[in-house]
A and B are shown apart, each in its own frame.
Chain A
Amino acid sequence: LPSSSTRFEFDATYVEQLTAGDPEVERHFTEYFSALLVAKLRSRLRSPTLVEDAKQETFLRVLTTLRMKGGLSSPGGLGAFVNSVCNNVLFELYRSESKLSLTLDEEGAPEPEAIEASVESRLLSSEDRARVRQALEGLPAKDRTLIQWLFFEERDKDQICTELGVDREYLRVLVHRAKGRVKQALAAR
């Protein structure tokens, strides 16, 4: 199997092996979808713990269903199936929170968990992390500052644009360029 960080298309053999519990395919499957699920869950859940729980629950349900049904009729639909299961997990989370009458409005929302993402929940190995950081450090000073403000300091984007005299489109182009560097850094392994 290719690295789970590279482009990949699912075929019938892959789904069969995943359904049969092949450990290597299962590892590839969870690594491949981890980042996609984290990207989806981060914007909707309040804590790293909830994100991790929802991700694990999604994997569990997908694998259980595959084994119960004996696979998928359309192997190319594996990604859509994972997304659909994750939607259901999120829906149930919201429903259960609603039943517990948790305050979710922005005014009275409870404080988030004051924890950093645990080492276990990181998606990059320490070596890859170092490579990516090195690649980002090679950006021009202004762009490095922008990346810092966006993803480290999490400043308001409109304020960032005003302060550095750029527009939103510049931020998109910058993220596009930074992704290119990250891709190169990861491909150089």
Chain B
Amino acid sequence: MTEQTMRHEQAVASRAAERYLLDEMSELERHRFEAHYFSCPECAEDIRVGVALQEAASEPLTPGQSKPNAWPRPLRLVSLAAAAALVMTVGYQSLFVIPELQSMARPQALAPVVLRPVSRGADTPITLPAGASFLSMSLDVNLDPLPSELQYDLATDQGIVVASGRVAAPAPGTPLLLLVPSKALSAGRYALTLRPADGSAGTLAYRFVASTE
């Protein structure tokens, strides 16, 4: 599994702040760097200074010049591909890294399967879409109080862990979007658990049975 957050040494060595400000990052890398700089005082300072640079330079340094565009280029258009990529990285940030995402340049429609925590009853049936690179799932997270971070584990019914890790909890009332690489799943029963990462009480279990098209 790929890391969800860039490490500080990686950010410094790869001139991440400069490439971010110059809009040279893929959506996935941008997302990883954002996950880092929001928590890293040093990189946060770098970005704040960079934004100040952009703002000060958004007017002509030589008086009398007129601005050809009203807003920095990246703002003018948001392609559907970029929107889809963001949607995917929100899900990615929530749970999984999808290496294939980096090469995904065309628009993708998301129709997540909604999963709710189970107390009893039948497992939710899920059909693994043929040819799709991932399966999207929307998880209701009804923990109260809602922790800031969640630990997730996805395992087969034989107890084989397919994926696990930590993720920031979604805002209250909003679902956690989960993107699972199709390659990670095959037909069979699965259990996904979410619990507070700080070890406090409360575990949510989502069960589903996957079948192929």
Contacts and interface: CB of A to CB of B under 8 A. Distances in A.
**Chain A interface residue bracket vs B:** 35 or more
A132 B175 CA distance: 42
Contact of B15 (A42, A82, A85, A176): A176
Interface stretch (B18-26, B126-134, B181-189): B18-26
B90 A87 contact: yes
Contact of B147 (A73, A104, A173, A186): A73
B169 A84 contact: yes
Given A40-B34, A137-B61, A91 B86 contact: yes
Contact of A112 (B61, B71, B80, B168): B71
A38 B51 CA distance: 8
Given A39-B47, A83-B35, A186-B49, A94 B86 contact: yes
Q: How large is the interface on B (under 10, 10 to 19, 20 to 34, 35 or more residues)?
A: 35 or more
Contacts of B76: 46, 112
Contacts of A104: 78-80, 83
Contact of B24 (A74, A114, A168, A176): A168
B15 A172 contact: yes
Contacts of B159: none
Contact of A124 (B52, B65, B70, B73): B52
A15 B77 CA distance: 37
B101 interface: no
A88 B41 CA distance: 23
Nearest to A61: B171
Contacts of A90: 86, 90
B212 interface: no
A106 B56 contact: no
22 contacts: A5-B48, A7-B45, A39-B47, A39-B51, A42-B72, A45-B75, A69-B146, A72-B148, A73-B198, A74-B148, A83-B39, A115-B71, A122-B55, A132-B55, A133-B59, A136-B61, A148-B61, A151-B58, A152-B65, A172-B19, A175-B18, A179-B53
